[in-house]
Structures are given as structure tokens and as C-alpha cells.
Amino acid sequence: MRFATKQIHAGVEPDPTTGAILTPIYQSTTFVQESVDKYLSKGFSYSRSGNPTVLALENKLSNLEGGAGTACFATGMAAIHGVMLAMLNAGDHAVVSDVAYGGTYRLCTKIFSRFGVNFTFADTSSPDAVKEAIRDNTRLILTETPANPTLKLTDIAAISEIAKAKGIPHAVDNTFLTPYYQRPIELGADLVIHSTTKYLEGHNATVGGAVVSATAKLDEKVSFIQNATGTIVSPHVAWLTLQGVKTLSVRMDGQCANAMAVSEFLETHPKVDKVCYPGLSSHPQHELASKQASGYGAMVWFEVQGGVAAGKKIMDSLGLWTLAENLGSVESLVTHPVTMTHADVDEAERKRVGITDGLVRLSVGLEDAQDLIEDLKQALEKI
Ligand SMILES: *Cc1c(COP(=O)(O)O)cnc(C)c1O
């Protein structure tokens, strides 16, 4: 079956007791056992260890990413934390993309570093830089592509090949493109991470996360952490996410087309210095974007003349675009990474990886493209 069919039907069966077409929200702590001998005969014991609504979402995501199993988490950060706990011990080393979600960087430098795990933040857009960063005790390579917020790309197949040769698992944060546009497991990755908060749920209604594993063995390791740490997603959030995923391809195609229109408008505007969108032929890795994904996503950034002051003025002058953290929802949002999403990244590290003070990040939504462009136009006239 093709993607649009699978996003609706995979993992979901009509409820066996009532025929309800949607998997119900199984809001129950515990599950009654038939007898001591038939313990777990229906598959569930206690909702931290497994819940039917959560399982329906896990099965759907495994199907869409082409994985052997999925563990859903309370948030995207809980999912990344789950992967790190499953793969790393004290004394181990991990290679992480130097441009990544701000929370990923914080988790490495402020938490895992306290437990004797060492990190190299490498430019994973360069396979040679990854090779150089690998040490004898490297036990995880974690990449994010396109990266938040600079939209730098990592060649998933090239890094997976390097990882495989060394027997190191390669985890890819696929939040920005989703399995509709990019399927890292097909390109050789071992683990796929999602903040389902973003495009998968898509309506600014929940926070959630997921880890899809290429093999049952890896899934067992991640699921063990999910149960042992209790960083699970609630049945209600899983249910909302199940509904969101059904329209993923339609939303992504609409948002991607809007992102292209907005980028083209910004690229020709005299007050805009720089526009970055992987769909533009001016993007330095446009070719790689076209090779490893079937769409370019809906994240864009630009810089205006006048630096931080002008950037702030634009963000405060926008009407339809909402100033808020988060991305991937149907509502168009604008963010200033330096003061918002990446405030916890050291200033020197931000400068090194290209998160400049004047960078304005757009998460393009599903409104009419012309309305989005007109709002940007009036805000740009104010500087
Ligand atoms: C938002 C985000 C996360 C963290 O997800 P939460 O659900 O907010 O915890 C991780 N990675 C990327 C790429 C993100 O955009």
C-alpha cells in the first residue's frame, strides 16, 4: 500500500467489542488478568508497560517508517533521552550533530555529561568530520537532518555506512521531514526519533515523542527504557496523534508548497539579505535534499538588513504569523532562535554553527500562501 493509505489505516483495527472505527482512548491504569496461568493473555498488564491506544500509534509509526518496532514517549526530548539511556554507559562517547535541537544539546552537556558520557558535536554534513570524531568508545551517532534551525543537511546513507562499518548505531532525528518525505531506516539508519509534537500530530494540541527501531533487538532495548523510566505518552495524547497522522501527507504537501512560495517571495525582497530553504536551488545542499527526501519540508529562515533590531521589529510587526516556540503545526509560527529555542546553546557554539543573532525562523503553516506573504510584506516595510 502507498503512504496516504497507510497513514490512515496502518496499525488501527475497528474496536473488537463495539466496532468503533477509531481505536478508543483506553483510559485504564490496569488490565484484568483471566487467571494466574493466563497472565498477559490479552497483551496488557499496566499502562506504563503498555496501553492499547499507545500501541496502535506505535504500530502505525513502525509501519510508516519501515521499522521493526516503536516506543512512544511523553515528549521528543524523552524519546532522545530514551535512545541515549538505551545505548550509552558511563565512559562511552557519542557523536552528535553540531546543529541540533537546542534541547538535545542541553541534554548532552547538562545531564548526560554528569554521568561520564562524553560528546563530540561534529559537523555531520561532512562524512569525514564524522569519521574523525569517532573514537574507540563511541557507542552512538545522533544526527538531525534538516537541522534545527540552520537547515543544514546530513547525508543519512553516507553516515549510516560509516556507522555500520564500525558497528555503531546511527539514530536520526526525523522530526522536520517525517516518514512521508524521508525514511532514514531505508537509507541505512538504525533508529529514527520524532517529536510527534510537530508535524505528526500537527495541530499544536500535544507534546509527544517516538523512537522507531530498525530491528526488534533495538526496539527491545528502547522499550525497556520506556517502561523502566516511565517516560510514557498518555492514551489521550496517543489518540490525538493517531488522528493527526491520518492527514500527514496532505498537510505536508500544502505546507511545503506554502514554504516554497514564501521563500521565493523573501528571496526577491530587497530588505532580505539571506533566505534558507532546502527547496531553493540556492540552498548549498539542494541536491542532497532532492536525493534523500521526496519533499523539502516547511521550515524556512531568513536574515534581514539591520541585524537583531530589524529582526525583532519584523517579528513584533507580524499579525498572521504568531510569535511562538513550536513548529510543524497548521498555524504559521515565527521564532527568534537566539532568544527562544536555542537560548541554552553557548554563544560561541551558536556563532560557530551559524545561528546568528538576526536569524528569523519560520514554521510555515497551512493558511493561504498569499495571506502569509502579504503579512510578511507589511512587516518588512516597517524596517
Ligand atoms: C521539538 C523538537 C525536539 C523535542 O521535542 P519535544 O516534543 O518538544 O520534547 C527534538 N528534535 C527536534 C528536531 C525538534 O524540533
Q: Which tens digit of pLDDT belongs to each residue from 67-104?
A: 999 999 999 999 999 999 999 999 999 999 998 998 99
| Beta carbons of 203 and 244 less than 8 angstroms apart | yes
Q: Which tens digit of pLDDT belongs to each residue from 266-277?
A: 999 999 999 999
Asked which of 195, 215, 245 is the last residue of a domain, the reply is 245
Would you say the CB of residue 206 lies under 6 angstroms from ligand 1?
no
Q: The dihedral of CA 366, 362, 66, 74: what is its sign?
A: negative
Name the amino acid, one letter, at 71.
A
- Structural domain boundaries, residue 24: 3-245
Indicate which atom in ligand 1 lies nearest the CA of residue 144: 13
**Residues 106 and 204 reside in one and the same domain:** yes
**Residues 149 and 279 reside in one and the same domain:** no
* Ligand 1 centre distance from Cα of residue 96 (Å): 15
**Residues 215 and 300 reside in one and the same domain:** no
**Residues 231 and 125 reside in one and the same domain:** yes
Indicate which atom in ligand 1 lies nearest the CA of residue 207: 7
- Domain holding 188: CATH number? 3.40.640.10
Within 13 Å, how many C-alpha atoms sit on residue 28's CB side?
12
**Residues 225 and 259 reside in one and the same domain:** no
Would you say the CB of residue 198 lies under 6 angstroms from ligand 1?
yes
CA 55 to CA 70: how far, in whole Å?
Answer: 9
Catalytic residue annotation: 48, 101, 173, 198
Report the nearest-CA residue for atom 1 of ligand 1.
195
Would you say the CB of residue 98 lies under 6 angstroms from ligand 1?
no
* Ligand 1 centre distance from Cα of residue 101 (Å): 6
User: pTM of the prediction?
Assistant: 0.97
**Residues 256 and 241 reside in one and the same domain:** no
For residue 246, what pLDDT is reported? 98
- Domain holding 342: CATH number? 3.90.1150.10
For residue 312, what pLDDT is reported? 86
Rounded to a whole number of angstroms, the distance between the first and last alpha carbons of the chain is 51
Would you say the CB of residue 197 lies under 6 angstroms from ligand 1?
yes
Would you say the CB of residue 26 lies under 6 angstroms from ligand 1?
no
Report the nearest-CA residue for atom 5 of ligand 1.
76
Report the nearest-CA residue for atom 4 of ligand 1.
76
For residue 310, what pLDDT is reported? 87
Q: Which residues of the chain have pLDDT under 70?
A: none
Cα-Cα-Cα-Cα torsion 270, 275, 277, 282, nearest 10 degrees, comes to 80
Would you say the CB of residue 144 lies under 6 angstroms from ligand 1?
yes
**Residues 336 and 239 reside in one and the same domain:** no
Total domain count for the chain? Answer: 2
If one residue of 75, 124, 197, 231 were mutated to test the ligand 1 pocket, choosing by the most ligand atoms within 8 A of its CB, it would be 197
**Residues 57 and 17 reside in one and the same domain:** yes
**Residues 316 and 219 reside in one and the same domain:** no
**Residues 229 and 292 reside in one and the same domain:** no
**Residues 220 and 363 reside in one and the same domain:** no
Asked which of 211, 228, 245 is the last residue of a domain, the reply is 245
For residue 174, what pLDDT is reported? 98
**Residues 258 and 151 reside in one and the same domain:** no
Asked which of 213, 245, 277 is the last residue of a domain, the reply is 245
